[in-house]
Chain A
């Protein structure tokens, strides 16, 4: 009872360092923590992982898999608490990996995956999993971003073709507003959920981005500041997007698009199913840039990683990863209409004719640009951008981005 009281108080005081050590289980039990990609009970990732667990335990007698699926909002905090309490999982599937490399918590990829499985990974993704030339992050799923538009809204507003440049986008948005064809002409979600994604898609359109060629942070570069100045004066002020983009999350924007209330927005493949579910007749086009459509769009990958101190034997983890990546990859990709990171799954999905709607995404994927994933300070910088980046379209962009740049520089100095 005392312990319960203490735990409650720990929570009440916002203390995170109270966790005690707990048993990591025996060496034959593989503890897996994974993010939840589902949006309802029937497609929760728990369903997928339980199936994997069942099949793996059947094929490899003696091993046990302990699955814990956590939603995206909580997973990073939960994992942080686990690490602090010395209770690391054996395997973790989430959005970033490099911060854990900085603390030397992870196995190298070649220690926990057979050569055959590694060769099956699509090279660009495998490379994105490298920190200073050594692969730690194992790609799990990927996606690329394109612009979605509502065909009915465009027709009603008299917009003939999807915009290719920023000016065309603003003009199309103005038409939509004037004709009252949609509540929100362009949905600009810069709330905490995925500020770093929308930000990068816009900055790429102006030749900007998060880092320069040497990998140094350039969050407040002239191009980036100019990008936000443009957004502020041409979309936010004239009311061509949400009134408060900095507090509007991506899920709101997606839901609004699926509800027919949005003219256009940048989205990833899961929006296809949502739009179909809402009976929205949508089209896709490359993301507009300042002078013309983006040559390389934003590519995003989620990651699998293996912890050294998880408690299970390395051989078991290796068996589990080989099993999952060779046998169960396609099932996951098809379950969520996400894009594969293994060559055989990609081949199957491109050729079996069931994924025509993913074609525009496959097309832009080879040239996609990633976040600076291999930078060990990126996870921290990304978290800072999520918190305050959206304010760049409300306050002075130079100051907001300048503050972020300062934080990024000190984070980079800390982890080096």
Chain B
């Protein structure tokens, strides 16, 4: 970063404490509103785009809507009760947690290693950095459909490859049953999450000043010690950003599962997001109730995470 930034306009032409000489006497109607006129468009946008849909969502979850789509009046808390009584509800929540934890953990660990690698100087680094963007640039839906076809029992290249390598003795319907579908979908989810996370961590790595490393080298720190006591702590802000964004993304992840298994058979490969979507086919109110629960879970998840990470910081 250049240290020779031009002086900011605010500091030029005005002495120390120059602010006090502001145009107090000319305060007119608009000025009295303070910053409001400037931030009003943003507030309106937030109200329309964020707050209103949430209100509408919560309202829908208390409505009785027929399968034809007609509103039949209030349902009270019936839809929430129906949702909690669904025989698959518990399993869906459990799998949502497993899905989120496994995918985010694997993504963060792999990205740490990848970011470290891409931070080294090696020939062809520019090209490999570009290549890393590919899974990010491609649409997630396309990637998931691609994997679905690669795993196809009769025509999939991955099945053929594994057969030829002798890893399996007959081609398998990988996505047909939950035991094998989950790991494959998790792998795809990690694959599409890697670029963003790696770049976030890479940016973090590049902000760590070289002189800190030099100092530690002079003090005789080994590579592992340097990594644990210098790199990791200084990478913390970038790491936290990566975790929070991935948590929300993976929790809300829909296209991968929908494209690969549609959450089936039954609800066996559904996360709460896919479950919500499938409920929509039979009961919109219940589906909205699931959305409300999802929304609350994300909020709680993020709050807990922020709390825990800040508590660590104070330590």
Contact = CB atoms under 8 A, between A and B. Distances in A.
9 contacts: A6-B53, A9-B49, A16-B280, A191-B264, A244-B176, A244-B265, A379-B67, A380-B282, A388-B267
B175 A247 contact: yes
Interface string A105-117: 1000000000000
A9 B44 CA distance: 15
B48 A102 contact: no
Contacts of A10: 53, 56
A55 B266 CA distance: 45
Given A5-B48, A16-B60, A18-B53, A105 B262 contact: no
A59 interface: no
Given A2-B45, A14-B277, A403 B87 contact: yes
Contacts of A247: 173, 175-177, 261, 264-265
B69 interface: yes
B265 A100 contact: no
A78 B175 CA distance: 28
Interface string B147-190: 00000011000000000000000001101110000000000000
Interface stretch (B110-118, B135-143, B192-200, B284-292): B284-292
A80 B266 contact: no
B119 to A, nearest CB: 34
Contacts of B201: none
Contacts of A17: 56, 59-60, 63, 284, 288
Given A2-B45, A244-B177, A247-B177, A15 B69 contact: no
A191 B67 CA distance: 21
B202 interface: no
Nearest to B54: A13
B69 A84 contact: yes
A250 interface: no
Contacts of A9: 49-50, 53
Given A2-B49, A387-B278, A81 B69 contact: yes
Q: Which DSSP category, helix, strand, loop or mixed, fits chain A's interface? A: helix
A50 to B, nearest CB: 27
Interface residues of A, number: 47
A221 to B, nearest CB: 20
A262 B153 CA distance: 14
A1 to B, nearest CB: 9
A337 interface: no
A243 interface: yes
A99 interface: yes
Interface of B: 44-45, 48-50, 52-54, 56-57, 59-60, 63, 65-72, 87, 153-154, 172-173, 175-177, 261-262, 264-268, 276-278, 280-284, 287-288, 291, 295
A80 B68 contact: yes
B44 A242 contact: no
Interface of A: 2, 5-6, 9-10, 13-18, 76-77, 79-84, 99-100, 102-103, 105, 183, 191-192, 242-244, 246-248, 256, 261, 379-380, 383-384, 387-388, 390-391, 394, 400, 403, 415
A213 to B, nearest CB: 25
Contacts of A83: 68-70
B128 to A, nearest CB: 33
Given A84-B69, A243-B173, A244-B173, A383 B281 contact: yes
Nearest to A243: B173
A13 B70 CA distance: 20
A99 B66 contact: yes
A17 B285 CA distance: 10
A360 B252 CA distance: 50
Given A16-B288, A103-B70, A243-B176, 20 more contacts: A2-B49, A5-B45, A6-B48, A6-B53, A10-B56, A14-B291, A16-B280, A17-B56, A17-B284, A18-B53, A77-B280, A99-B66, A242-B173, A244-B265, A247-B177, A387-B278, A390-B264, A390-B265, A394-B177, A403-B87
A256 B152 CA distance: 13
A313 B284 CA distance: 31
Contacts of A100: 68
A249 to B, nearest CB: 9
A391 B71 CA distance: 32
Pick the most buried of B52, B56, B267, B291: most chain A CB atoms within 10 A of its CB: B56
The 3 closest A-B pairs by CB, nearest first: A244-B176, A246-B265, A83-B69
A106 to B, nearest CB: 10
A81 to B, nearest CB: 7
A15 B70 contact: no
A6 B56 CA distance: 11
B66 A102 contact: yes
B59 to A, nearest CB: 7
Nearest to B264: A247
Contacts of A76: 281
Contacts of A387: 264, 266-267, 278, 281-282
B264 A246 contact: yes
B56 A18 contact: yes
Contacts of B173: 242-244, 247
Contacts of B262: 192
B70 A105 contact: yes
A14 B61 CA distance: 12
Nearest to B66: A103
B277 to A, nearest CB: 6
B70 A384 contact: no
Contacts of B45: 2, 5
B68 A105 contact: yes
Nearest to A387: B278
A37 B194 CA distance: 41
